[in-house]
Structure 1
Amino acid sequence: MSVPLSILDLAPIIAGGTAGDALHRTLDLARHAEQAGYARYWVAEHHFTPGVASSQPALLLGQIAAVTSRIRLGSGAVQTGHQTPLSIVEQFGLLDALYPGRFDLGLGRSGQRAKEAVKELATPPPPAEERVVDGLLIPKPFSFAPILASARSALFGKLLHLPGSQPPDFTEVLDQIEALLTGPVTDDDGNEARAVPGEGADLQIWLLGSSGGESAQVAGARGLPFAANYHVAPAKVLEAVEAYRAAFRPSATLAQPHIMVSADVVVAPDDATAREIAEPFGLWVHSIRTGAGAIPFPSPHQSAAHAWTPQQRDLVADRLATQFVGSPQTVATQLRTLQRVTGADELLVTTMTYDHTDRVRSFELLAKEWHG
């Protein structure tokens, strides 16, 4: 029996397109996803990226909820270092008040990661080699520390944070979110504060992580479901799920660990067509890996015209090698390997194509094959 299959959408802007185009395509894709039987539809939070329109998950999820009726909706993930716990609870409390019982509050700590990058650069981890674990490729790791420690990222931080503010510890953020959801919050003098809307909201909290670090460990220790990123950080996916399971303690939410693992996929009627559709992905990943931010997703013509150097190829090799591309049968087999090796209880797939019709068809073909 196949595990549930869900979608992560970045609302990609294509070359020559606009953010408005991208957001309308997201609404259309969400409707198709619901009809195809996907369990969840999550949207990302990315800032200052010319090729991604999903910068405000709660706002976008409200629009998606209005054009769907059953599929669970969520954030993959709200970046907790960029706003207060109260604002997060109020936003998702408002969504739950309007569309009760449909939302996953996925939380990430990217806002906190920037201040750790300098330490990573000073003491880089020992090099690791590519390996294959029971049929699943685990590539050499890629470090985002130089990008996170760059002057460009510092500018972004200034624009994302109030003057003089510092991202709080992740555990402190979670404490406040959980307290506001259960409410009221009180001080030593007995004064009360309530999140309205928000208190009592029927939200499922998820933590997302790309390594075996704080997110995985905190999710396990608090008995929360955990989403591990094979599509962003394929080298560390096994480390992430193992750390989560090792730290897991039963809670009122979960009696045992619950893991969702993500993957990049492109599906077409046959392997050759899928490879052709997926070709621009490498150029798009390269823009991210160089620290320039995701460019609008290239057209096949732009991709074909690009003259790759060996250094550029090496920069994106791990993401290309771990993207599942092919016919429905090919990709379903690869996803089942990912599920088996990681022990995932659910899978989360994301697809980038230049043509919206190709993207919708990719998800529909995969769902039909996956659900039999």
Structure 2
Amino acid sequence: MTHAQLKDELIAYSKTIGVDKIGFASADPFLQLKDRLLIQQERGYQSGFEEPDIEKRTEPKKLVEGARTIISIALAYPSKMKNPPKSTRDERRGIFCRASWGKDYHDVLRDRLKKIELFLQEKVPDGKTISMVDTGELSDRAVAERAGIGWSGKNCAIITPEFGSYVYLGELVTTIGFEPDQPITDQCGTCNKCVEACPTGALIQGGQLDSQKCIAFLTQTKTFLPDQYRKKLGNRLYGCDTCQQVCPENKGKDFHLHPEMEPDPELAKPKLIPLLTISNREFKETFGHVSGSWRGKKPIQRNAIIALAHFKDKKALPVLTELLYKDPRPVIRGTAAWAIGEIGSTSEETILNKAKKTEKEAEVIREIEKGLNLLNNKH
């Protein structure tokens, strides 16, 4: 069998296992990406979640000796929820971004990639392969762009003609020499909507992101959220979809092709107050299968406190007071103190002053003082 025939067979097979798009790229070094990553590093734009070795991120042959091809796959995920629950004054809700709806996409894509690996092993027993999703060394987007899956949009997402940017990406490096596909020409043109709509100005310019300012990144941090971003968070618990929602290429794009990607509305838009007292075990049982849980419950709870402050939800004051007095985690105590200041009236001053007398952590004391200042400004 020729490589051209094997490629056709693999494309046909990929459709039967639930791969929405497949593309083939050469395993040559990603020289442009290397330059871009060095600039990102110099300017401190990285998130810290990436593979630190830029050589490994840009040279596929360092991952598989004799690598000739990278196979890129894309799976489309839904952009709309059926019967989404309403956030009401009585029950305020947060939101997980679309990429965290349904089963963790890492598991879904690994399943598809494993099937492709087994398919290739059967056809070419001496071929070597390695696959990865998101947390691997290679840049999923750079691979997908080279493989003709889509173009790299100004919002730093891969935009496919068929599914917009609502796609999960994964790739497989192999020693089998497939004919590469043609990249798609950039279609963004003069459109700059995503850059203009970014809530924190994290999109410096089309295709360049300061991860340290990106809400999607900030929702995953475990420390105090910097003051300047708290009002920007809204009710986001994990991730941010703004730059995808405003993209004209995503208009009307909503695909429900994979049952395991369908969101449970109560998990994708959970009630905020119950999140504040959820135990580790309950959190794992309830949210453990979604990608937004990978950092544990602390960032989600911190974000939920900020969301309640955003809604000025007075019903949250008793539980926030409880957290301020009793939670062992300084970030949760401090964020609760700030939120009490945002939500409360002068009658909450006694709550904050009482906490200030017994608090040992300097950072928490600073947050209590911020809360008191907020209350004093309401006089």
TM-score by length of 1: 0.24
TM-score by length of 2: 0.23
- Say which one has the larger Rg: 2
Higher percent of residues as strand: 1
